[in-house]
């Protein structure tokens, strides 16, 4: 399947470069280019892409406001937003997760990693740059007053679903979670979908935000991919 991508960036030279890079691949193509958030929302509704690559700072409606409109639009339930920005600040990462984005990368990312991020987001997985992951941990896990009680919705998760949510919140991809838990990636994806349904999260990014905001995930180093899980 060809991944249909919408670009939203007010810098024409960068947008043109991204378009050439994306169109050069045989599994994705650009279906539109927007120069601001308002255009991005309008083109997303017109073209229903699998992925919107969204800049943040644009004239008029910014990228995060546009991302929130897109992720809340019932006609765009299969559209994911990947933020690509120069500004990897705590504030922007926090706003992006609250807006329901599925990825957050800096514009200094390697071209191959950028294309892989589009594929990952299109598949329903999440991508966070190291600075973005650090910002999330700093904002949600290292706060002075972490929650002391588990929210009711989290109580409905099975032990396996809780394991999957914990690893997803720490930044592991479906493939990495599958390897860690010794299950198939398809099984992990099924778990993620069930968790999103139970917690009322339309996007994986929202799952991460919920895990941090509720204190479900604490400050621990993430498991190394390839380390097999054992029950103790």
- DSSP of 161-213: HHHHHHHHHTT--HHHHHHHHTS-HHHHHHHHHHHHHHHT-SSHHHHHHHHHH
Q: Taking the complete model, does pTM exceed 0.85, yes or no?
A: no
Q: Give the whole-number percent of the chain exceeding pLDDT 70.
A: 84
pLDDT at 139: 62
Residue 66 — pLDDT band, cuts 50, 70, 90? Answer: very high
Q: How confident is the model at residue 211 (pLDDT cuts 50, 70, 90)?
A: confident
Residue 50 carries which DSSP code? Answer: S
Q: What token pair was written down for 24? A: 């050069």
**Structure tokens, 4:** 């249909």
- Hey, what CATH class is 145-213 in? mainly alpha
Query: Is 3-138 a domain of CATH 3.40.50.2300?
Result: yes
Tell me the pLDDT of the chain averaged across its residues: 84
* Sheet arrangement for strand 80-85: 28-34, 3-8, 51-54, 80-85, 103-106, 127-128
Chain length of the chain: 232
Q: Is the pLDDT of residue 169 over 50?
A: yes
Q: Could you read off the pLDDT of 3-55 as tens digits, one per residue?
A: 999 999 999 999 999 999 999 989 999 999 999 999 999 999 999 999 999 99
Output the pLDDT for position 150.
Answer: 59
Say which residue the tokens 């600075």 belong to: 131
When pLDDT is averaged across residues 176-196 and rounded to a whole number, the result is: 90
pLDDT digits (tens, 9 = 90+) for 86-121: 887 778 888 888 888 988 998 888 899 899 999 989
Could you tell me what percent of the chain has a pLDDT over 90?
49
What are the domain boundaries of the chain?
A: 3-138, 145-213
The predicted structure's pLDDT at residue 75: 95
The pLDDT of residue 72: 92
Question: What would the two tokens of residue 224 be?
Answer: 């190394």
The yes-or-no verdict on residue 210 having pLDDT over 90 is no
Residue 226 banded pLDDT, cuts 50, 70, 90: very low
Please give the pLDDT value at position 218: 60
């Amino acid at each position: 399947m060809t991944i249909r991508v919408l670009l939203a960036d007010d810098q024409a030279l960068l947008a043109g470069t991204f378009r050439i890079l994306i169109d050069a691949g045989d599994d994705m193509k650009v279906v539109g280019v927007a120069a601001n958030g308002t255009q991005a929302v309008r083109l997303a509704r017109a073209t229903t892409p699998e992925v919107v690559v969204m800049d943040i700072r644009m004239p008029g409606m910014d990228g995060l406001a546009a991302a929130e409109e897109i992720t809340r639009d019932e006609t765009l339930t299969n559209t994911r937003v990947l933020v690509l920005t120069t500004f990897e600040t705590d504030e922007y990462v926090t706003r992006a997760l609250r807006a329901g984005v599925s990825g957050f990368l800096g514009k200094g990312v390697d071209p191959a990693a950028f294309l892989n991020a589009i594929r990952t987001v299109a598949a329903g997985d999440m991508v966070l740059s190291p600075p973005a992951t650090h910002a999330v941990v700093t904002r949600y896990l290292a706060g002075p007053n972490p929650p002391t009680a588990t929210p009711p919705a989290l109580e409905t998760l099975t032990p396996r679903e809780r394991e999957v949510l914990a690893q997803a919140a720490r930044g592991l991809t479906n493939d990495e979670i599958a390897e860690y838990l010794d299950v198939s990636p398809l099984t992990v994806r099924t778990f993620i979908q069930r968790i999103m349904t139970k917690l009322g999260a339309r996007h994986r990014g929202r799952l991460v935000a919920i895990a941090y905001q509720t204190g479900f995930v604490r400050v621990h180093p993430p498991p190394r991919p390839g380390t097999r899980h054992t029950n103790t």
